[in-house]
Amino acid sequence: MKAAKTHQYEHDDEEMNAMNADETSQSINKSSHNPYSSVYYCAQCNIQKRDRSTYHCPDCDVCIEKYDHHCVFFSKCIGGGNICAFWTTIGMVFSIFIGFGALVIFDAVLR
């Protein structure tokens, strides 16, 4: 009985090694970029990029389409999917600061 189970586990190990070898060869093929091809792969993630504006953020460890920057205040990458929300938030915060500044100046003038 034990010999049969050991043999089964050895067979599973061989299958896993073969699958890992296939994955390694695929990732090597992906990371080697053909300069005449329009398909790009991330060197860190090995995922296919849609275009050259996709960038791998070292802080988040993910690829971001139309990457702009990594915001330390939001702790997120700012890119194509959230750039409008980012600028809206910045505009609202700026408006609040201007509004409170105007109130402080108005209060100082009245006293």
Evaluate if residue 73 carries a pLDDT over 50: yes
CA distance 111 to 100: 17
pLDDT over threshold 60, residue 6: no
Flag whether pLDDT at 29 surpasses 50.
no
Closest CA to 65 of 45, 35, 89: 45
Per residue in 87-97, pLDDT (tens digit) is: 999 999 999 99
Query: In angstroms, rounded to a whole number, what is the distance separating the alpha carbons of residues 4 and 14?
Result: 15
Check 57, 60, 71, 77 and give the catalytic one: 71
What confidence tier does 31 reach under pLDDT thresholds 50, 70, 90?
A: very low
Rounded to the nearest angstrom, the gap between the alpha carbon of residue 47 and the centroid of all alpha carbons in its chain is 11
* Mean pLDDT computed over every residue of the chain: 77
Q: Which residue has the tokens 């600028």?
A: 87
Question: Are the C-beta atoms of 47 and 63 separated by less than 8 Å?
Answer: yes
pLDDT at 77 exceeding the cut of 90 = yes
Q: Does residue 71 have an active-site annotation? A: yes
